[in-house]
């Protein structure tokens, strides 16, 4: 095995292989991660048989711990989508916050539905609606787009049960309920600063520069929307939100209940059972299926099958990311890098953010950035004295911003919201970066009080 400074060189070569395969040759992230993992093992002269074992253990351990909850989380989001719950949540906020406050409405809708539903799905559903709102209220479409996408990515990258933050929580062995609570607060702060604050500035900027946008296709969308929703039965706002809240509340009860209840009691045992991440999500999916039944336009089994098809690639990428992380640990690269970086006296929270941000910016995938960073820094975080929960949130915050044209999400937002590349950079690239930095600032503030806040240490 190779030791010393060559480990840094090998790591840089490995990252270069990952970037080149994804960016230059457009290889799927699953294959790119496996190729990089094997290449890393060969470069440190690890026996081929050991390389195979490391990949198997890393892949299997990662999916063994979060594979079930990822699948159930996607099903939960699918029921919210198929029942019409997403439209109900959006419409409710729009009725409450209309006119000049429409930016708050789309941000709140994006923040809530971004938790269980994949970002691209939210963009597809919300973009036409946001454009209609922009036309009616005269609020800049770039401003509304910024509020929507920053809110969505804040929860999508930071809040369980979405796959990427779950992978971070598992790599750092975090309590899911505690992680959810503080990540949601950090995401909300990031949304307020990046989505609403910066979004307001974008609206002011467009008004000052008399920047106008075309909405020729809006009438066709409104006509199609009225036709598709006419006579359809949809759930109420409370029912729609409960689909999301039931599993989350069970996980929270399971995390914080034992902190305040007598140890060893029957109620504590019950909370530990129903609050387990897998049990809570299973209960949530069963509940979602039951309450969604009157509003579905297809059988429950078909909804679950659609979700299963959607989750396949997510599981492969997550598992291969776990294999790469295991290789970094097994070869000693992770420990050496952590020890080397600690000599620069960069605060651990900032370091977690920076590395995740660099990887996110370089290769375009939030998942790859978060899984790689959390795997690499797990030993450093454990020995740092800083709350692992806050470090995990800092990593997730680093996976948000500076989305460049090498990111498929960049073009999804550009295409669905029908804005220029320059406006996409203003709304999404810069807006997302501000959101991530704001979340990091919030985490740094929490770290000052970590000894006094429940669950952080």
Q: Quick: pLDDT tens for 123-161.
A: 777 888 898 889 888 899 999 999 999 999 999 999 988
Answer yes or no: is pLDDT of 119 > 80. Answer: no
Q: Is residue 353 part of a domain?
A: yes
Q: Is pLDDT at 225 greater than 70 in this prediction?
A: no
Residue 323 falls within a domain, yes or no?
Answer: yes
How far apart, in whole angstroms, are the C-alpha atoms of residue 317 and residue 368?
A: 8
Mean pLDDT calculated for residue range 212-231 = 60
Average pLDDT value for the chain: 88
By C-alpha distance, which of 232, 227, 228, 275 is closest to 250?
275
Residue 445 main-chain phi, psi, to 5 deg: -65, -45
CA nearest 75: which of 263, 362, 311?
311
CA angle 76, 408, 169 (to 5 degrees): 45
Asked if the model's pLDDT at residue 201 lies above 90, the reply is yes
**Would you state the pLDDT for residue 57?**
92
Which domain covers residue 296, as residue numbers? 6-448
pLDDT in tens, 360-372: 887 778 888 898 8
Nearest in space to 406 (alpha carbons), one of 448, 363, 370: 363
Higher pLDDT, 81 or 151: 151
Q: Of the given ranges (55-64, 312-321, 382-391), which has the lowest mean pLDDT?
A: 312-321
3-class DSSP assignment, residue 242 = helix
pLDDT at 216: 67
> Total structural domains in the chain?
1
Residue 224 reports pLDDT greater than 60: no
Is residue 214's pLDDT more than 80? no
- The pLDDT confidence band at residue 118, using thresholds 50, 70 and 90, is low
Residue 140 lies in a domain: yes
* Contact between 456 and 182 (Cβ < 8 Å): yes
Please check whether residue 453 lies inside any domain of the structure.
Answer: no
Stated pTM of the model:
0.88
Residue 455 placed within a domain = no
**Per-residue model confidence (pLDDT) at position 345:** 83
pLDDT tens per residue across span 385-426: 999 999 999 999 999 878 887 777 888 888 889 898 899 999
User: Is residue 167 within 8 Å of residue 371, measured between CB atoms?
Assistant: yes
What pLDDT sits at residue 37? 93
Q: Is residue 443 part of a domain?
A: yes
In a domain, 146, yes or no: yes
């Amino acid at each position: 095995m190779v030791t010393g400074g060559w480990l840094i060189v090998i790591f840089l070569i490995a990252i270069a292989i990952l970037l080149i395969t994804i960016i230059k040759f457009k290889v799927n992230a699953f294959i790119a991660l496996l190729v990089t993992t094997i290449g890393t093992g060969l470069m440190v002269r690890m026996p081929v048989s050991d390389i195979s074992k490391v990949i198997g253990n890393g892949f299997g351990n990662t999916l063994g711990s979060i594979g079930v909850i990822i699948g159930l989380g996607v099903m939960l989001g699918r029921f919210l989508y198929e029942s019409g719950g997403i439209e109900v949540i959006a419409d409710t906020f729009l009725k409450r916050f209309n006119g000049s406050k429409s930016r708050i409405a789309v941000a709140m809708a994006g923040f809530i539905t971004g938790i269980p539903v994949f970002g691209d799905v939210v963009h597809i559903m919300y973009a036409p609606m946001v454009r209609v709102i922009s036309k009616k209220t005269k609020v800049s479409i770039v401003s509304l787009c910024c509020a929507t996408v920053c809110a969505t990515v804040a929860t999508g990258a930071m809040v369980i049960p979405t796959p990427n933050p779950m992978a971070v929580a598992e790599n750092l062995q975090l309590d899911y309920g505690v992680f959810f609570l503080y990540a949601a607060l950090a995401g909300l702060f990031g949304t307020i600063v990046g989505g609403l604050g910066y979004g307001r500035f974008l609206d002011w900027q467009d008004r000052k520069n008399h920047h106008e946008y075309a909405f020729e296709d809006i009438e066709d969308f409104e006509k199609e929307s009225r036709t598709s929703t006419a006579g359809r039965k949809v759930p109420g706002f409370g029912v729609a939100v409960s689909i999301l809240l039931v599993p989350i509340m069970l996980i929270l009860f399971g995390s914080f209940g034992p902190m305040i209840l007598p140890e060893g009691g029957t109620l504590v045992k019950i909370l530990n059972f129903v609050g387990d991440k897998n049990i809570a999500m299973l209960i949530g999916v069963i509940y979602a299926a039951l309450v969604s039944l009157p509003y579905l336009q297809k059988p429950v089994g078909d909804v679950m099958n659609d979700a299963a098809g959607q989750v396949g690639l997510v599981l492969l990428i997550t598992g291969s990311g776990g294999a790469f992380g295991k290789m970094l640990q097994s070869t000693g690269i992770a420990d050496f890098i952590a020890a080397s970086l600690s000599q620069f006296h960069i605060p651990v929270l900032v370091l977690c953010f920076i590395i995740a941000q660099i990887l996110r910016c370089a290769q375009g995938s939030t998942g790859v950035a978060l899984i790689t960073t959390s795997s690499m820094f797990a030993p450093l975080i454990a020995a740092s004295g800083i709350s692992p929960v806050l470090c995990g949130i800092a990593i997730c915050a680093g996976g948000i911003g500076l989305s460049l044209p090498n990111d498929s999400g960049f073009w999804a937002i550009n295409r669905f919201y029908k804005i220029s590349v320059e406006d996409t950079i203003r709304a999404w690239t810069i807006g997302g970066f501000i959101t991530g930095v704001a979340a990091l600032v919030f985490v740094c503030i929490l770290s000052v009080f970590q000894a006094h806040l429940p669950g952080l240490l």
